[in-house]
A and B are shown apart, each in its own frame.
Chain A
Amino acid sequence: AQKITQTQPGMFVQEKEAVTLDCTYDTSDPSYGLFWYKQPSSGEMIFLIYQGSYDQQNATEGRYSLNFQKARKSANLVISASQLGDSAMYFCAMREGRVFGNEKLTFGTGTRLTIIP
């Protein structure tokens, strides 16, 4: 079974609009971390935002916020007031915490976001 599912292969959004990128995850570990990364066309992977499984509040970092719904196992990324520079591939990732030797990040397949001027 897929541990991280991103169901939107591509999205087109008008500049200055808000956009939500979907991510659902699957784990039985009570301790885990959820991450979003941005990969522009230049190729580097840029960390955006983190949410811990025990965090009571949704994480926010500038224009990025994470809509964390634990019961639904979803961790959607919200980008407010989108900019042309937001055009990139976005990856959701999870790291499970309790099993020794399971420290890797498991990535979804990504969503390609294109901002239209």
Chain B
Amino acid sequence: DSGVTQTPKHLITATGQRVTLRCSPRSGDLSVYWYQQSLDQGLQFLIQYYNGEERAKGNILERFSAQQFPDLHSELNLSSLELGDSALYFCASSVEDRAMDIQYFGAGTRLSVL
């Protein structure tokens, strides 16, 4: 158990809908990262938050947004969902945001858009 909690584990929804994925980082970790894993794109970095503030953005669509709350949990919001958004979404956390900091991953949320 990595200590990173993601809910829900599975999500099935329809095109055009909006969903929220939730992540609780390991106790004491300040950085939260979101990654998307799909068959065609592999593992892609979406966005990072550090202590409540956005730190880095990757290949995140405009339909997607995220935030980190004062208790350091994070949410990833996906709206106007398309079939191609079906993927495994991971949250990871690390103590700080240095190159040597290990990112521990949650078990992922598997999103299926029908």
Contact = CB atoms under 8 A, between A and B. Distances in A.
**Do A and B come together as binding partners?**
yes
Contact of B99 (A32, A44, A45, A101): A32
Interface in A66-91: 91
B55 A47 contact: no
A104 B45 contact: yes
A45 B56 CA distance: 21
Interface in B93-109: 97-108
A101 B58 CA distance: 10
Contacts of B33: 103-105
A64 interface: no
Interface residues of B, number: 27
Nearest to A103: B97
Interface size classification for chain A? 20 to 34
A43 B107 contact: yes
B102 A35 contact: yes
Contacts of A53: 99
A95 B97 CA distance: 10
Contacts of B90: 45
B22 interface: no
A93 B103 CA distance: 11
Contacts of B97: 103
B88 interface: yes
Contact of A106 (B2, B45, B110): B45
A35 B99 CA distance: 10
Interface of B: 2, 31, 33, 35, 42-43, 45, 48, 55-56, 58, 88, 90, 92, 97-108, 110
Interface of A: 31-33, 35, 37, 43-47, 50, 52-53, 91, 93, 95-98, 101-107, 109-110
Query: Nearest 6 A-B pairs (CB), nearest first?
Result: A97-B99, A104-B45, A45-B105, A107-B43, A33-B99, A44-B107
